[in-house]
Amino acid sequence: MNSLSIDSQITFVYSRDLARSSRFYEDVLGFPLAVDQGGCRIYRVLGQGAYIGLCQSEDAPEDGAGLIFTLVTSDVDGWYQRIIARGWACEHPPRHNETYRIYHFFLRDPSGYRIEIQRFDRDDWDRA
């Protein structure tokens, strides 16, 4: 039996204001643009494998309901400082969550999507 592989992963979200959302992902988070398709822009999140796509849509949810986009990093505090230094509000400073054994904080992008930046307490978190 041949095994199938996945080459990349893209999470698409919708925005009522693509230009404003693009500025956030480029200027606040510093993600490089990988593809500009006009009505959709795809940003590189990690190397060559993980991306977020932003698409213009007048039907986009106004509050980003139902989605949390999580970025895992060893430098949660550094990301927090970067984001507030660029004038973007966060829901709270980084803090530890005993239940999930993570250190994290949340912010929202211009379309209201919730972004979590976190570090797992254990380095082997992804090895069940």
Half-sphere exposure of 19 (CA within 13 A, CB side): 0
Does 1 reside within a domain?
no
Render pLDDT for 53-93 as a digit per residue (tens, 0 to 9).
999 988 888 777 778 888 888 999 999 999 999 999 999 99
In a domain, 2, yes or no: no
* 80 within a domain of the structure (yes/no): yes
Average pLDDT over residues 103-108: 94
Provide CB contacts within 8 A for 14, sequence distance 6+: 54, 55, 56, 57, 59, 60, 61, 111
pLDDT on residue 81: 96
pLDDT at 123: 84
Within a domain: 17: yes
Q: What is the pLDDT of residue 83?
A: 95
Residue 68 falls within a domain, yes or no?
yes
Mode of pairing for the β-strands spanning 114-120 and 68-72? parallel
Residue 38 sits in a domain whose CATH number is 3.10.180.10
Give the mean model confidence (pLDDT) for residues 91-97. Answer: 96
Q: Answer whether residue 3 shows pLDDT above 80.
A: no
Residue 128 lies in a domain: no
**Domains in the chain: how many in total?**
1
Residue 58: which of 39, 43, 33 has the closest Cα?
39
Q: Quote the pTM value.
A: 0.76
Domain of 96, in residue numbers = 9-120
